Amino acid sequence: MKEQVKIFDTTLRDGEQSPGASMNTEEKIQIAKQLEKLGVDIIEAGFAAASPGDFEAIRKISEVVNKSTVCSLARALEKDIKAAGEAIAPAKFKRIHTFIATSPIHMKYKLRMEPEEVIKRAIEAVKYAKTFVNDVEFSCEDAGRSEMAFLKEIIAAVIEAGAKTINIPDTVGYRFPHEMGEMIKELKDFIGERAIISVHCHNDLGLAVANSLYSVLNGARQVECTINGLGERAGNAALEEIVMAIKTRKDIFDGIDTNINTKEIYPTSRLVAAITGIEPQPNKAIVGKNAFAHESGIHQDGVLKHQETYEIMRAEDIGLDRNAIVLGKHSGRHAFKKRIEDLGFTLSEEEINKAFERFKVLADKKKEITDDDIRMLITNEIASAPEVYKLKKLQISDCSEGVPSAAVTIEFDGKEITDAGIGDGTIDAIFKTIDRISGYKGTLNDYQVAAVSKGKDALAKVVVKVVFDEKKPAVIGHGLSIDTMIASAKAYVSALNSYISMKDMLKVKKMSENDI
Ligand SMILES: CC(=O)SCCNC(=O)CCNC(=O)[C@H](O)C(C)(C)COP(=O)(O)OP(=O)(O)OC[C@H]1O[C@@H](n2cnc3c(N)ncnc32)[C@H](O)[C@@H]1OP(=O)(O)O
Ligand SMILES: CC(C)C(=O)C(=O)O
């Protein structure tokens, strides 16, 4: 029988306390729905008394979420608890989370209360919260710096008052994992089955996840955490790290599991990053851009031969469907060859070796080599496309009014062929006319234009990515001219020549007259 650790997500409450992470109601609803899909047990949707906007967001979330419990934070104050109770009222499963600080420093300087007064307030708060909901959580704020004897006293009192979950926050991220574990163990022995122990760890010393995991190992059965580790100051424990650590190290977390659908981790992380505008650092565990990327040749070779040589988790398990191999200056031949094959090219060993040499030269100049760079290397360098078709003349109509059209003259097999055509724009008209002349039909996948020099007579460089057969990879063409339209026509013709010159690598599908 597996023991569940409840995942209490506080992205919408503590996460929103990250400077700059404010979200509007619509955005919070989107995130709440995604959190439900992710399978979090409790969504802390906000702090109802903080503002009318927070109240409204919690209320709307309570209306749309029906699998996860919806929770609002409240100080140990009647007005906060009333607001929380009213905001979560529509929810199918609801919880009030009330708190008061228990550390000597907070009680003395912030609350300016004697410990006895703090206990009295805590009991009143829990009792009042119980008039709204059965599910009441109580937090001993700054428990990490609180005295054990006082913690036990207040915890016993709030359990007696009806609290079902006792949260032990390391509010300022002060504890070390072994200390956190010892504290939770002692409290677990004290509380027994009377309430669920929860932890809420901050990351001021980078220990939030480690502290949460040690707490689980010592009896905590709820973890409060946020997507991407967002939160006040250095943030909270990252949900994705806790969940994946428990899943990956089954040997340590024997018989312990969460309800999280890990395949929703990456989509949730992206949604939160897009809405808050706070991007996880590239090397952030689990969800960082580089978390599943291998750049160096020895690692790439190992992963290609057997994934587990350098991966303890599978990218697919977090819902990430992406090529883990990043080509760069440290990449080796195995990875390069694999990428060429993945892109749909069939090259001889000699061609691969030639391309690999050029790739290394390029990689010295460029930080990351993209798939388009590889296509360019192959289509324009290896094939060193002979000019089967050559642009001779181009005339375009003024398209400010009327139908954009182009007349193109192409040299082919020693003869000049001229034709004219119309299109959705001037460039489209040029490309369609080239298709008519050549008999191939290209689909433009990408078009980029850049100035390669300065001033009025700057040279325009156009790069096109064209698919001439949908079953075959795209080819790249480029053209340079002082005139953007001519550069575009040259780029398209160069893509066509590359395509034709690779007949042996890519079987060419010729268009019939009727297809044009
Ligand atoms: C560790 C945490 O993350 S706690 C949650 C933090 N989140 C927030 O603060 C949410 C956003 N906060 C707010 O919008 C505002 O601070 C409000 C609306 C909650 C309160 O605003 P104000 O009434 O203007 O009070 P202000 O924030 O300046 O000061 C906090 C007051 O609450 C008191 N207080 C703090 N915690 C508690 C508590 N758990 N129970 C009772 N009183 C508390 C403080 O002692 C202080 O009281 P005082 O005015 O008598 O000195
Ligand atoms: C209110 C509590 C749970 C909190 O956010 C903290 O202590 O950090």
Atom of ligand 1 nearest to the CA of 111: 45
Cα gap 186→190, rounded to integer Å: 6
pLDDT average per 10 residues of sequence, the chain (516 residues): 93 95 92 97 98 97 98 98 98 98 98 98 98 98 98 98 98 98 98 98 98 98 98 98 98 96 95 91 95 88 90 93 79 90 79 86 80 73 71 84 90 94 93 96 91 67 89 83 90 90 55 37
Sheet containing 443-451: which strands, arranged edge to edge?
Answer: 443-451, 460-467, 475-481
How confident is the model at residue 450, as a pLDDT? 82
On whether the pTM is more than 0.80, the answer is no
Q: From CA 250, how far away is CA 236, in angstroms rounded?
A: 23
Region of 487 please: left (phi>0), alpha (psi -120 to 50) or beta: alpha
CA atoms of 5 and 222, how far apart (whole Å): 5
Is 414 exposed, middle or buried (CB count within 10 Å of its CB: 0-12, 13-18, 19+)? Answer: exposed
Q: Which residues of 21-43 are buried (b: 16+ CB within 10 A; e: fewer)?
A: bebebebbbebbbbbbebbbbbb
Whether ligand 1 lies within 6 angstroms of the CB of 47 is answered as yes
List all residues 6 or more positions away from 120 whose beta carbon is below 8 Å from its beta carbon: none
* Residue 26: partners with Cβ closer than 8 Å, 6 or more residues away: none
- Give all domains of the chain, ordered by start, each with its CATH number: 3-276 (3.20.20.70), 297-382 (no CATH), 389-515 (3.30.160.270)
Q: Which residues are annotated as a binding site for Mn(2+)?
A: 14, 200, 202, 236
Between the CA of 119 and the centroid of ligand 2 the distance, in Å, is 17
Longest CA pairwise span in the chain (Å):
100
Q: Which of 277, 263, 265, 283 is nearest to 227 (CA)?
A: 265
List pLDDT tens digits, range 180-237: 999 999 999 999 999 999 999 999 999 999 999 999 999 999 999 999 999 999 999 9
> Is the CB of residue 138 below 6 angstroms from any atom belonging to ligand 1?
no
Which residue's CA is minimally distant from atom 37 of ligand 1?
A: 75
Determine the residue of 14, 18, 142, 226 to mutate for testing ligand 2's pocket, defined as the one with the most ligand atoms within 8 A of the Cβ atom: 14
Which residue from 456, 474, 473 is spatially nearest to 465, judged by alpha carbons?
474
pLDDT of residue 512: 39
Q: Which residues are annotated as a binding site?
A: 14, 200, 202, 236
* DSSP three-state, residue 36: helix
**Helix pair angle (78-88, 52-64), 10° resolution:** 40
Instruction: State which ligand 2 atom lies nearest to the alpha carbon of 73.
Output: 1
Closest CA to 132 of 69, 100, 87, 174: 87
**C-alpha distances out from residue 196 to 138, 157, 187, Å:** 11, 15, 11
What pairing do the DSSP bridges indicate for beta strands 415-422 and 136-141? unpaired
